Structure 1
Amino acid sequence: MMNKLIFGRFIPGDSLIHRLDPRAKLVASFYFIGIIFLANNWQSYLFLAVFTMVAVLLSKINLTFFLKGVRPLIWLIIFTVALQVLFTQGGTLYWSWGVFSLSSYGIQNGLFIFCRFVLIIFMSTLLTLTTPPLSMSDAIESLLNPLKKLHLPVHEIALMLSIALRFVPTLMDETEKIMNAQRARGVDFSDGNLIQKVKAIVPLLIPLFVSSFNRAEDLATAMEARGYRGGEGRSKYRKLQWSARDTSIISVFAVATIILLFLRS
């Protein structure tokens, strides 16, 4: 299942990206998702693509891992791009039929949407591949720490996000095992029309839900057996340390924003 889902996996390493403070990587990732909407021409998207590829190269992780991260969402991306192409009007009109049309402006926007999706997935995948789930939880808790004054359960929220992120690949592996077992019993998930395919998934969902609830109950029991009582008054084995390297990375993103604004049409 590693070939089908990369999001949520952590690959140990000693690259510059791996050594960054998880808070810096988390802030940089969300900041990148924000500034990508500033791009509105091929020059700005080309700059963002080069910027992303440099980050991927600095992580020393094979590019195929990132391409595999795009694969599970490719149909969603194609569907979104198709809607953008067929329902956007402007520029030279090549084809029209009812509410559908194919124009130069629609094709351009479709390509931009495709690039936007891929770059966001690449940057999100880079975050999870280079950051352990526990460090991600610590980073989220640290960034949300000011909200404790509003009596928000910051530690519990960070813990839930970390557990959810950690168990995404585990549940996908479980899904693969159940699908193989169903195939051995004669179930064909790829044959038939859309309704028949949906019906074939039902025998897959029921054991998956049962397995998920059992796994959640086992996890809760294990946490209680180890004396877990929430984050109040707990000391930390892992302490986050913000360094000049992390500040430099945030500064690089700020400079990238200025360049992006300059490249905008």
Structure 2
Amino acid sequence: MMRDITIGQYYPADSILHRLDPRVKFIGTFLFLVSLFVADSFWGYVLATVFLAGIVGLSKVPVKFMLKGLKPLFLIFLITLCFNLFLVPGEVIWEFGFLKLTYEGIQQAIKIGIRLIYLVIGSSVMTLTTTPNQLTDGLERILKPLNKIRVPVHEISMMMSIALRFIPILMEETDKIMKAQIARGADFESGNLIQKAKNLIPLLVPLFISAFRRADDLAMAMEARCYHGGENRTQMKPLAYHARDYWAYAVTLLYLGADIAIRILL
């Protein structure tokens, strides 16, 4: 299960998406997420499917690897679908006690399910094709105007970069600790809910100790290198737009415009 989490991972490949400016991917991902809530008809979701399939194809990331990231969220999907199926009022199709399956509930569940899946895949494309350093630089440049109102943009971007970098590390550490504890006779599956929670103690304690140790090592390394953020800090590879970035903006805006037009007309 831990290896199925793809958020925060970077998949190296030679694709047009990997070479795009991180600001383009940030803004493009945001516009795609907006388009998912604009779409409210069959043709709107068809357009979103075609656009997302094209982006996944251009990324050169294996589809199986990308879909693997949906497994840890299966329970959330299931709960969300059940709430929409039985709690949305409308024309009743099936009824059992206080549970009422409605035609409108089925439609809403399908829409929400598609939005959640596309939201996860769309966000994963950005992180899988962008290194943590690029994400930090891109977010910092996008939020740079907030420096005028004394918002610590660089510190926020650095915290986000470190968090994304630590996700796969902690997942790998959790997997190693879990295997080591199972080899020593630990049981994480049997028992009721309270017993399962108690069984997690041999996993959580060494994981927290390891996380704090890594954080302390990182802080010492940054201090030893005289790291300081904020003004007068330069970048080794300054961000600059190229022709492909402007084309990416144009395609994304064209897609969003077509999605809005479908919403208005249909």
The Cα of 1:191 is off from its aligned counterpart by: 1.7
TM-score, with normalisation over the residues of structure 1? 0.95
Equivalent position SS for 1:93:
strand
Cross-structure match for 1:81: 81
Identity %: 43
Distance 1:258 1:228 in 2: 44
RMSD of aligned residue pairs (Cα, Å): 1.5
Distance 2:88 2:197 in 1: 31
Cα distance per residue 1:182-232 (max 9 Å; x no partner): 211222212222222222222221221111111100000011111102232
Q: Are positions 1:225 and 2:224 aligned together?
A: yes
Letter matched to residue 258 of structure 1: G
Equivalent position SS for 2:4:
coil
Cα distance per residue 1:75-110 (max 9 Å; x no partner): 111111111111112134322422x21111111111
Structure 2 contact 2–174 (Cα < 8 Å) conserved: no
Q: Which moved more, 1:58-67 or 1:180-189?
A: 180-189
Cross-structure match for 2:110: 111
Equivalence map 1:18-29=2 (5 Å): 18-29=18-29
Equivalent position SS for 1:163:
helix
Letter matched to residue 173 of structure 1: E
Distance 1:161 1:74 in 2: 25
Equivalence map 1:138-149=2 (5 Å): 138-149=137-148
Cα distance per residue 1:220-258 (max 9 Å; x no partner): 001111110223212210111112221221221221122
TM-score, with normalisation over the residues of structure 2? 0.95
Distance 1:58 1:92 in 2: 43
Cross-structure match for 2:190: 191
Cross-structure match for 1:238: 237
Equivalent position SS for 1:46:
helix
Equivalenced residues, count: 264
Q: Are positions 1:159 and 2:158 aligned together?
A: yes
Distance 2:236 2:93 in 1: 62
Distance 1:202 1:250 in 2: 48
The Cα of 1:261 is off from its aligned counterpart by: 2.2
Structure 1 contact 93–101 (Cα < 8 Å) conserved: yes
Letter matched to residue 36 of structure 1: L
Structure 1 contact 94–104 (Cα < 8 Å) conserved: no
Where structure 1 has 5 or more consecutive residues not aligned to the other structure, the ranges are: none
